[in-house]
Amino acid sequence: MVSVVVPIYNEEELILRFHEAVAGALKGVVDDWEIVYVNDGSTDSSLELLKELQALDPHVVVVELSRNWGHMGAILAGLQTARGRAVVLMDGDFQDPPEVLPELIEAWRDGAEIVVGVRRSRKESRKILAALFPLFYRVLGSLSDYPIPLNAGIFSLMDRKAVDALLAMQEKNRYLPGLRAWIGYRNSIVYYDRQDRAGGDGKLTFVSRIKYAMDAITSFSYKPLRLSFALSGFSGSVAAVLALSMFVAAAPITSAALGIAAAVFFMGSLLLLTLGLLGEYIGRVYDEVRNRPISLISRVHRAEIETATQVELMAMQGGVFPSEPGSYPDRKAIKAA
């Protein structure tokens, strides 16, 4: 079995179309598969749509979280629920193209235990994010104490042993591409062109992306902490220069006072910077010590009769069963059924 884990948050516009695309990509490639949709506290009709879809298709598993836990919390819940020998992680907004799934599975069959989807290019309607993503990856590449594949997000396939290794980790602030690289195993890369969202607005806020970036840096680098040593040396050098300038300068007293005031504020900003960096690490240590779960599952909706024939399923579901990709009814037809 191959499992596909998809976190969902307010994606009512795309769910049926996305499921049809994923089912079409998997049909004929694997004999047994499941799609695990994790509803991350959606406030629209996403959960109702997923339940209706699960009632029609035994390949669908719906995980309800107790509330909105965020992207990483939803992914972890999906990994805990998935039963496949291989597990694919992908977003449900078509930015990770379903047509790449056969390539990931083929690389796994060829012996890779982790297959990473690396973005060859990306179409991003939000221009600020399009400019910030390359900058983030350059910063992460220069700061990280461990080599992490750049231009790679969650889109990937992992063998069961890799999934079990990730689940064994108890970290609360998770940067999945870094953890995926850290566990090792035989890696392979599949390049793809990341698309823009097929509909609706992006669900990750700018603040949540900043936190995710900080998780990436603080989880795999001590260099920000070591920055305080460099800043202390720089501050000492500036202080020495200012002290010497008092003996040689012939400037008026007002200029000297302004210069000293500027130096005090400058040194204070460096001190606050180092304290802020230290606070980021201490805050993450506090999260680990509390050992709270990063998500809680409320309920899992799964087909009760896994070996039922198609005729039996049609009888159970009033004669409606999407036997072929493209035959999934729209929402009104699902409700009528």
Distance set, CA 302 to CA 16, 58, 108, 153 (Å)? 18, 7, 26, 28
**pLDDT tens-digit profile of 290-330?**
777 888 888 888 876 443 344 443 444 444 444 344 444 55
**Do the Cβ atoms of 150 and 133 come closer than 8 Å?**
no
Looking at the structure, tell me whether residues 124 and 256 fall in a common domain: no
pLDDT at site 305: 41
Amino acid symbol at 325: P
| 63, β-bridge pairs | 38, 300
| 3, β-bridge pairs | 34, 87
Q: Does residue 337 fall inside a structural domain?
A: no
Q: Does residue 280 fall inside a structural domain?
A: yes
Looking at the structure, tell me whether residues 181 and 284 fall in a common domain: no
Looking at the structure, tell me whether residues 122 and 228 fall in a common domain: no
Separation CA 318–CA 27 (nearest Å): 24
Tally of domains within the chain: 2
Looking at the structure, tell me whether residues 283 and 321 fall in a common domain: no
Looking at the structure, tell me whether residues 109 and 176 fall in a common domain: yes
Looking at the structure, tell me whether residues 139 and 76 fall in a common domain: yes
pLDDT at site 212: 57
Looking at the structure, tell me whether residues 252 and 171 fall in a common domain: no
Q: Does residue 79 fall inside a structural domain?
A: yes
Q: State the chain's mean pLDDT as an integer.
A: 74
Looking at the structure, tell me whether residues 106 and 154 fall in a common domain: yes
Q: Does residue 84 fall inside a structural domain?
A: yes
- pTM of the model as a whole: 0.65
Separation CA 288–CA 285 (nearest Å): 5
- Nearby residues of 209 by Cβ (< 8 Å), 6 or more positions away: 129
Separation CA 119–CA 121 (nearest Å): 5
Looking at the structure, tell me whether residues 192 and 282 fall in a common domain: no
Q: Does residue 241 fall inside a structural domain?
A: yes
CATH number at residue 304: 3.90.550.10
Looking at the structure, tell me whether residues 320 and 261 fall in a common domain: no
Looking at the structure, tell me whether residues 208 and 284 fall in a common domain: no
**Do the Cβ atoms of 43 and 304 come closer than 8 Å?**
no
Separation CA 41–CA 54 (nearest Å): 17
pLDDT band for position 153 (50/70/90)? confident
**Do the Cβ atoms of 148 and 220 come closer than 8 Å?**
yes
* Residue 330: how many other CB atoms lie within 10 Å: 10
Phi-psi region of 41 (alpha: psi -120 to 50; beta: other; left: phi over 0): left
How much of the chain, in percent, has pLDDT values that exceed 90? Answer: 15
Higher-confidence residue of 60 and 170: namely 60
Which domain, by its residues, includes 259?
223-290
Give the H/E segment covering residue 224: helix 223-248
Backbone angles phi, psi at 319, to 5 degrees: 85, 5
The per-residue DSSP string of 66-107 comes to SS---HHHHHHHHHHH---SEEEE--SSSSS-GGGHHHHHHH
Looking at the structure, tell me whether residues 121 and 166 fall in a common domain: yes
Q: Does residue 242 fall inside a structural domain?
A: yes
Q: CA 213, 219, 223, 228: dihedral to nearest 10 degrees?
A: 90
**pLDDT tens-digit profile of 162-218?**
999 988 887 777 778 878 888 888 888 888 887 655 455 555 555 666 665 666 666
pLDDT band for position 285 (50/70/90)? confident
Separation CA 171–CA 155 (nearest Å): 20
Q: Does residue 336 fall inside a structural domain?
A: no
Higher-confidence residue of 108 and 247: namely 108
Q: Does residue 13 fall inside a structural domain?
A: yes
**Do the Cβ atoms of 177 and 119 come closer than 8 Å?**
no
